[in-house]
Structure 1
Amino acid sequence: MPDPAPNSAPRRDWLSLLARAPADRLATLFPDPLPDHALLRAPEIGSVMVRGRTGGTGTPFNLGEMTVTRCSLRLTDGTVGHAYVQGRDRAHALRAAVLDALMQTDAAPDLRRRCLDPLAREEAQRRATRAAKAAATKVDFFTMVRGEDK
C-alpha cells in the first residue's frame, strides 16, 4: 500500500522532536511573542493509552495511560499546526503547534537552524550519555572465569 502522504516523514520527525523537547529549552530557542494565530483547539489536557510489545515484537498489550496536552491552531496565512506533548504543559503544546505550522512555511530553514537542530543535537547528547551510563553497568557473562575452569 503506498504511503498516503509521501512527504510526511520530515514533519513526523520534527513533531516527534518537539514533543520530546524540554519545554524550558524550547521556550528559550523560540521565545515569546509567538506569531499571530487562531486556536482551532486550545491546549487541552487528556490521556492516551500507551501500548507495549513483549520483547519489542510480541503481541501488543495495554501498558498504561499517559497524560498528554494537545493543541491545534491556524496561522494568519492559513497554515495549520498541531502538537501533542507529554505531560500537562499547555505552553509547550502551544509553542510546538506554532512551530509545526511555521515549519510548513518559508520560515522552515531558519527555524530548523535556530530551533530544531540544537534540540536534535542536545537530545542525541542526552541519549549518548544515558547509553554510556548503561554500558558501564553491563556484565559480559561469557568472559567471566568460572570456578571449575581453573
Structure 2
Amino acid sequence: MTKTEQDNKRAQRKAAMAVLAQSEAAEISARLSAMALPAHRTLREPENGLVMVRGRVGGDGAPFNLGEATVSRSAVLLSTGQVGFGYTLGRDHEKARLIALCDAMAQTDAFADAVESEVIAPLRIAMIAKRNREDAETAATRVDFYTMVRGEG
C-alpha cells in the first residue's frame, strides 16, 4: 500500500470516528442492528478516564491546560483479527463499545462498505442536517448593528 493510500485510509477512519463520536449511542445501535455482525469479543472492557483539554491563546498562541474532560474508551477484536478502538466524551460505555465495533468492521474488506453506507453515511447526513437546522435557528436571531455617522464634520 502506497503512502497516499495509507493517508487516504487514515483520513477516512478519522472522519468516520468523528461522526460516530458525535452521534448518539441509540442511533449507532439502531444502524448496527440492521446488519449481520461478525463474530467479535471485547478486548478492552469499556472504562472511564480523564483527558487534559488544551487550548491556545487567541487560537494560535501559547498552549495552556484548559481543564479535564471525562472520556469512555473500549477495544473490540473481530474473529478475523482486526482491532477497533472507540473513544467518546462522557461516561457512555455502550457508545464506546459500539464505536470500537464499527471501527473494527470498517477495517475489514467484507464489512467496510456496509459500515460506511449503512452506519456512517446516514449518521453523517443526520448530523449535517441537525447542524444546518441549528445554524438557521441561530441566524434567525442575528442582529446587525451599524453606526450612524452624524453630519457634523
TM-score bracket for this pair, using the shorter chain length: 0.7 to 0.9
1:109 aligns with 2:113: yes
Partner of 1:38: 41
**Kindly tell me: are residues 53 and 149 of structure 1, through their superposed partners in 2, closer, same or farther at Cα, counting changes over 3 Å?**
farther
**Where in structure 2 are there 5+ consecutive unaligned residues?**
none
**Which letter maps to 2:25?**
A
Whether the aligned pair in 2 keeps the contact of 1:34 and 1:98 (CA below 8 Å) is no
1:69 aligns with 2:72: yes
Secondary structure at the aligned position of 1:99 is classed as: helix
Partner of 1:97: 100
Percent of aligned pairs with the same amino acid: 38
Q: CA RMSD in A?
A: 2.3
Aligned mates of 2:126, 2:17 — CA distance in 1: 16
Secondary structure at the aligned position of 1:30 is classed as: helix
Whether the aligned pair in 2 keeps the contact of 1:41 and 1:73 (CA below 8 Å) is yes
**Where in structure 1 are there 5+ consecutive unaligned residues?**
none
Aligned mates of 2:54, 2:24 — CA distance in 1: 23
Partner of 1:81: 84
Q: TM-score, normalised by structure 1?
A: 0.85
1:5-20 matched pairs, under 5 angstroms: 5-6=6-7, 7-20=9-22
Aligned mates of 1:110, 1:73 — CA distance in 2: 18
**Which letter maps to 2:130?**
R
Partner of 2:144: 140
Q: TM-score, normalised by structure 2?
A: 0.84
The range that moved more, 16-25 or 130-139, is: 130-139
Query: Runs of 4 or more off by more than 6 Å in structure 1?
Result: none
